[in-house]
Structure 1
């Protein structure tokens, strides 16, 4: 439902969601033993430990945005020989932490992400960040982080209580629908209480809300019947 302000995300608090999903990950990470850390995640080629390393390393970029120092961030990547855009950066973040004790990586992530969330909330959703794509509202950037954290929580098997699953899927669907419009995607969506209608190039499909979310982050299982053209058009947050 679109709010009276015309902002489809106005009724969602991106900072509260960010706190909730960070706490979910932290609880999960805190309970892991060596076997749990080494278990494969849903991210191809990454263990659960690698997902944590990715999240910790990503804070270098998040802080560069908050500090207004994108040039310094880009210069750092150049000094380190990092190429290949965000994929190359993510791979570098994981590789350089593989020999670091996992407890140290977990402390790094907690500290850095805690600072990111505090500073973003203090700025407010209407302030702007400098990003690699140019100036961008803090609140919308937080929604992107919200989606990423929820996705990675699912990737590593973090628990979601039954009484929060529906609301969680709903906000994720609303954020994804907004991003599809923002990116000028071929897919057009209409959400009902239980399902999402998707229209692509004259074709239509309806998906349960949870399946729509999985499609937008590229996590539908290989055996899911959704046509590849819909999959390609819907993927917008991963």
Structure 2
């Protein structure tokens, strides 16, 4: 895999910025705001927060080199697969006061970010995919945070949007290469040209980000096979 596309980006600073954006937004929500539907199918805003809090269980298992312990816990709970884990994390927090869930996410996310930064980008940590560079894992967390921020309509200042879309596009290109996706993607003026088996399309940078995270609008005209092949960060 070619990580040169990410050269010059600081994953730890990006993750801190995305966490701060989410935190500020969640902190300002009240009552019915939490029940609004999100862009993540079937999840409310509250459910997205519960997911973010719950997935720290995996992040900490990686940091603690205790993936076997996590697997044992999930087996004990009868939980299988990534989707099962995600739904379990949300379900387990539905009867907990949202303020408690928010504090859980703040504390655990803060610990993850501090420990990842302390390890450094060139260190490795155990993951379900095997030993993996800390810096690259942090970029995956950056994409996760940014995607879910968009899912719940966290505002982004106009001056920040171009840079945010730019780093997300680069992470998308990296993920396509890492996953050995059959799609060829190249940057062009104003966006990206994508090609698969002789079928090609041009996407804006924002649509390219949405495509790689599985968030492209249902009514977008992109070829279905291209759409499916571009999803590498969902």
Give the TM-score of the pair, scaled to structure 1. 0.96
Distance 1:108 1:223, change over 3 A: same
- Specify the alignment match of 1:169 in structure 2: 165
Match among 18, 22, 35 for residue 38 of structure 1: 35
Structure 2: gaps (5+ residues):
none
Deviations 1:55-98 (A, max 9, x none): 00100000000001111111111111112x11100000000000
- Specify the alignment match of 2:95 in structure 1: 99
Q: Give the 3-state SS of the residue equivalent to 1:116 in structure 2.
A: helix
- Specify the alignment match of 2:52 in structure 1: 55
Q: CA deviation at 1:192?
A: 3.0
Q: Give the 3-state SS of the residue equivalent to 1:205 in structure 2.
A: strand
> Hey, which bits of structure 1, 4+ residues long, moved more than 2 A?
none
1:80 maps onto 2:77 in alignment: yes
Q: Which moved more, 1:223-232 or 1:189-198?
A: 189-198
Give the TM-score of the pair, scaled to structure 2. 0.97
- Specify the alignment match of 1:214 in structure 2: 210
Q: CA deviation at 1:193?
A: 4.5
Match among 136, 139, 145 for residue 143 of structure 1: 139
- Specify the alignment match of 2:116 in structure 1: 120
Match among 160, 165, 180 for residue 184 of structure 1: 180
Q: Distance between the aligned counterparts of 2:20 and 2:4, measured in 1?
A: 27
Structure 1: gaps (5+ residues):
none
Q: Distance between the aligned counterparts of 2:59 and 2:12, measured in 1?
A: 15
Q: Give the 3-state SS of the residue equivalent to 2:126 in structure 1.
A: strand
Q: Give the 3-state SS of the residue equivalent to 2:99 in structure 1.
A: helix
Aligned length: 233
Q: CA deviation at 1:43?
A: 0.7
Matched ranges for 1:62-77 at <5 A: 62-77=59-74
Work out which structure has the larger RCO, using CA pairs closer than 8 Å and 6 or more positions apart in sequence: 2
Q: CA RMSD in A?
A: 1.1
Q: CA deviation at 1:205?
A: 1.0
